[in-house]
Chains A and B, each alone.
Chain A
């Protein structure tokens, strides 16, 4: 069965510092991977997705993620954190091309300090 593990339920960085949010997956088939962001009191919105076209995926707001098959990872990064990046981030996996569902990780809350 597919699963997603997000290491670290809370991550704190200073404004301008590198953001690194970790996501590891398990899958018996080629996965499709997603990162979603949830701002306070809002629903989730898509940051970026990996669909096997390129291993380095660029998303909105300066975020990017790299698919590493050998490490079964899809970590999210941003070179320079901004106060507005404070939110909860969810990694999700779609179990192959013909699946109806996404499997979500437990989320990582990002705090950005001035």
Chain B
């Protein structure tokens, strides 16, 4: 059982380049989330999904797009990277909402935009 995995672990981009971060989970969870973590700001929700084929905006969605074509995968895209998107990105998944919303996290992707 791999849990939540993220690809890649590290990436350096130039301003204006695009990339996709892949998150995969093997726990058959319905809910998946993308967060960014910046010093002194905790985790901020970018986008999330409550099931295959559905996505919703979180707290800081601008500059990002997501897709959930398969239940086990949640992709985060940056169409035109900016230095402000330098951050550590975490994917998480959970079985369901509310009190059962224990989220399981991946190991993170460290992204630097020059």
Contacts and interface: CB of A to CB of B under 8 A. Distances in A.
19 contacts: A32-B101, A36-B105, A43-B107, A44-B103, A44-B105, A46-B102, A90-B43, A94-B99, A94-B101, A97-B97, A98-B97, A99-B101, A100-B50, A100-B56, A100-B97, A101-B33, A102-B101, A106-B41, A107-B42
Interface residues on A, range: 20 to 34
A83 B105 CA distance: 23
Given A94-B98, A94-B99, A45 B105 contact: yes
Contact of B108 (A43, A45, A49): A43
Interface string A91-114: 000101111111011110000000
Contacts of A49: 102
B58 interface: yes
Interface string B94-114: 000111011101111000000
B90 interface: yes
B102 A106 contact: no
Contacts of A36: 105
Closest 4 CB pairs between A and B? Answer: A43-B105, A97-B98, A106-B42, A104-B43
Contacts of B4: 43
Nearest to A50: B99
Given A43-B105, A90-B42, A101 B99 contact: no
Interface of A: 9, 32, 34, 36, 41-46, 49, 51-52, 90, 94, 96-102, 104-107
A43 B97 contact: no
B13 interface: no
Contacts of B40: 9, 106
Contacts of A102: 101, 103
A104 B33 CA distance: 13
B78 interface: no
Contacts of A105: 42
B23 to A, nearest CB: 11
B74 interface: no
Given A32-B98, A49-B102, A100 B90 contact: no
B34 interface: no
